[in-house]
């Protein structure tokens, strides 16, 4: 699916569910990470995360579009278009739009490097991503001197 197909789909959904035309621009934004789409109040354009369409299909895409069109039409009419507004929640129920999109697992496991420090007295170990000044900081348990044991790598999201 391309931007022109998305534009056409949003215009059709707008007329079908809201009985109002969508007069602005719709596009896919590949930089969106944690959200299915967004409505831009400054330009009244809608951006959709293509990863949700690829991972979850057309039904999820239609739900995201309905949600963003609720923001769009309420903002154009001067009503409450934010998530906490009663007008927004009422329109979501009326058109059958989801309040939140289904989460997808997009983050891959990346290696995370950290340093290991150990107290010379009580042998308590500390993992730190940032370097610790061992001349300035001491053990939180016994106030003993810290020494760096080295770097390790874990797999973390």
Q: What sign does the dihedral 47-51-53-54 (CA atoms) show?
A: positive
Residue 11 appears among annotated catalytic residues: no
Q: How open is the CA angle 63-90-87, to the nearest 5 degrees?
A: 110
**Catalytic residue from among 60, 68, 118, 148:** 68
Report whether 128 contacts 117 (CB < 8 A). yes
Report whether 60 contacts 52 (CB < 8 A). yes
* Catalytic positions, written as ranges: 68
């Amino acid at each position: 699916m391309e931007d022109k197909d998305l534009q056409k789909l949003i215009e059709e959904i707008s007329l079908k569910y809201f009985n109002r035309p969508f007069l602005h621009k719709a596009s896919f934004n590949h930089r969106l990470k944690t959200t299915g789409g967004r409505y831009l109040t400054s330009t009244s354009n809608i951006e959709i995360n293509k990863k949700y369409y690829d991972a979850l299909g057309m039904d999820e895409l239609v739900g995201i579009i309905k949600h963003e069109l609720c923001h769009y039409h309420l903002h154009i009419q001067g009503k409450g278009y934010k998530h906490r507004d009663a007008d927004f929640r009422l329109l979501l129920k009326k058109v059958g739009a989801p309040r939140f999109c289904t989460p997808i697992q997009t983050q891959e496991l990346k290696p995370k490097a950290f340093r290991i420090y150990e107290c010379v007295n009580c042998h308590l170990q500390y993992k730190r991503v940032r370097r610790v000044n061992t001349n300035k900081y001491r053990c939180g348990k016994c106030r003993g001197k810290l020494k760096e044991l080295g770097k390790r790598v874990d797999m973390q999201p």
